[in-house]
């Protein structure tokens, strides 16, 4: 896809001009959301590293036991992982098998990618739905971890649910405007003709 075919508006860098207005608006909103979440996820990963470093130093030098650091780091990493999944998908940065795609004619490769996106959409949609059910159950039943700190489990389940919902929406946009997801992550080689 040529740069001239793309919208110049913020967040619309991956939606072709031929996409319908609702798809373009949804794409712009999701692109903005993805950028914000990617920034927050990066901060969460750094925070998890700081928390784990503090735990190691407190245990080694101060001989203090810890009861909150592991779970805090896990919650931060779960949130960062699931919430940033749509951003990574928008850049086609998830693990993919490129060997076959590089050998196929462009038309067949587009169909293969569309079928893969459809299967991914169905799987992620189901995962998203089940995640929301689990989150609701954890909220209503008051589920917590088994540690002495015992933070509520709805926190990571909410991050998982929201992240899978955003990923499902991202894949839906790629199905509605297939050219929008054709460009792989910058810096990655691809075999499309």
Residue ranges covered by each domain of the chain:
19-181
CB 89 within 8 A of CB 167: yes
User: Which band of pLDDT confidence, cut at 50, 70 and 90, is reported for residue 184?
Assistant: very low
Least confident residue range of 62-76, 120-134, 147-161: 62-76
**Percentage of residues of the chain with pLDDT beyond 70:** 79
In this prediction the pTM is: 0.79
Select the more confidently predicted residue: 104 or 10.
104
pLDDT in tens, 22-50: 888 888 999 999 999 999 999 999 999 99
pLDDT in tens, 103-136: 888 889 888 888 989 999 999 999 999 999 999 9
First to last CA, the chain: 10
What pLDDT score was predicted for residue 187?
40
């Amino acid at each position: 896809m040529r740069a001239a075919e793309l919208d110049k508006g913020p967040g619309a860098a991956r939606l072709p001009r031929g996409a319908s207005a609702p798809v373009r608006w949804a794409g712009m909103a999701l692109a903005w959301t993805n950028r914000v979440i990617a920034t927050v996820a990066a901060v969460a990963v750094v925070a998890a590293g700081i928390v784990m470093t503090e735990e190691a130093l407190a245990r080694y030098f101060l001989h203090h036991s810890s009861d909150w650091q592991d779970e805090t780091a896990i919650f931060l990493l779960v949130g960062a992982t699931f919430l940033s999944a749509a951003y990574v998908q928008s850049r086609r940065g998830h693990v993919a098998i490129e060997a076959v795609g590089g050998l196929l004619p462009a038309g067949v490769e587009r169909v293969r990618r569309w079928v893969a996106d459809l299967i991914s959409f169905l799987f992620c949609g189901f995962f998203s739905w089940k995640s929301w059910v689990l989150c609701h159950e954890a909220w209503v039943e008051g589920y917590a971890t088994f540690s002495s700190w015992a933070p509520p489990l709805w926190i990571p389940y909410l991050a998982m649910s929201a992240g899978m919902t955003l990923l499902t929406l991202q894949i839906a946009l790629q199905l509605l405007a297939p050219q929008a997801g054709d460009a792989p992550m910058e810096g990655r080689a691809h075999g499309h003709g």
